[in-house]
Structure 1
Amino acid sequence: MTTAEILSQLESLRNETTFAHNAKHGAVKQFGVKLGDIRPIAKKIKINHELAFELWETGYAEARLLATLIVNPKKLSANEVSHMAHSMDFVHEADWFNSYVLKDFQGKEQFREQWMDSDNKWAARSGWSLMAGRIAREPEGIDISAILYRIENEMPTAPPEVQWTMNTTLANIGIYHPDFRQKALEIGEKLGIYRDYPVSKGCTSPFAPIWINEMVKR
Structure 2
Amino acid sequence: MAETTVAEVMAELAELDDPKTREVNSRHGDDHGVNLTRLRAVAKRLRTQQQLAVELWETGDSAARLLALLICRPKDFDRDELDAMVRDARTPKVHDWLVNYVVKKNPHSEMLRVAWMADPDSVVASAGWALTADRVTKAPDVLDLPALLDVVDAEMRQAPDRLQWAMNACLAQIGIAHPVYRARAIEIGERLEVLKDYPTSPGCTSPFAPTWITAMVNRQGW
Q: Hey, what does 1:67 align to over in structure 2?
A: 68
Q: What amino acid is aligned across from residue 19 of structure 1 in structure 2?
A: R
Structure 1 unaligned spans of 5+: none
Per-residue CA deviation, residues 33-83 of structure 1 (Å, 9 max, x unaligned), is: 111111011011111111111111111111111011111011111111111
Q: Hey, what does 2:175 align to over in structure 1?
A: 174
Native 8 Å contact 1:129 1:168 kept in 2: yes
Q: What amino acid is aligned across from residue 15 of structure 1 in structure 2?
A: D
Tell me the matched-pair count.
216
- The alignment status of 1:153 with 2:129, answered yes or no, reads no
Instruction: Describe the SS at the equivalent of 1:140.
Output: helix
Q: What amino acid is aligned across from residue 44 of structure 2 in structure 1?
A: K
Distance 2:45 2:121 in 1: 34
- Measured after TM superposition, the shift of residue 5 of structure 1 is 1.1
Structure 1 segments, 4+ long, off by >4 Å, are none
Distance 1:55 1:118 in 2: 27
Q: What amino acid is aligned across from residue 5 of structure 1 in structure 2?
A: E
Distance 1:154 1:214 in 2: 25
Distance 2:59 2:67 in 1: 12
- The alignment status of 1:37 with 2:38, answered yes or no, reads yes
Native 8 Å contact 2:43 2:70 kept in 1: yes
Per-residue CA deviation, residues 2-24 of structure 1 (Å, 9 max, x unaligned), is: 11111111111111122112223
Native 8 Å contact 1:27 1:89 kept in 2: no
Distance 2:92 2:104 in 1: 17
Q: Hey, what does 1:195 align to over in structure 2?
A: 196
Distance 2:25 2:123 in 1: 17
Per-residue CA deviation, residues 129-177 of structure 1 (Å, 9 max, x unaligned), is: 1110111111113111110011111111211111111111000110011
Native 8 Å contact 2:176 2:213 kept in 1: yes
- The alignment status of 1:25 with 2:28, answered yes or no, reads yes
Report percent identity of matched pairs. Answer: 43
Q: Hey, what does 2:14 align to over in structure 1?
A: 11
Q: Hey, what does 2:206 align to over in structure 1?
A: 205
Distance 1:38 1:159 in 2: 30
Structure 2 unaligned spans of 5+: none
Native 8 Å contact 1:48 1:72 kept in 2: yes
- TM superposition score normalised by structure 1: 0.95
Native 8 Å contact 1:52 1:71 kept in 2: yes
Distance 1:24 1:201 in 2: 20
- Measured after TM superposition, the shift of residue 178 of structure 1 is 0.8
RMSD over equivalenced CA pairs, Å: 1.2
Q: What amino acid is aligned across from residue 173 of structure 1 in structure 2?
A: I
Q: What amino acid is aligned across from residue 175 of structure 2 in structure 1?
A: G
- Measured after TM superposition, the shift of residue 102 of structure 1 is 0.9
Distance 1:47 1:99 in 2: 17
Native 8 Å contact 2:136 2:173 kept in 1: yes
- The alignment status of 1:107 with 2:101, answered yes or no, reads no
- The alignment status of 1:91 with 2:89, answered yes or no, reads no
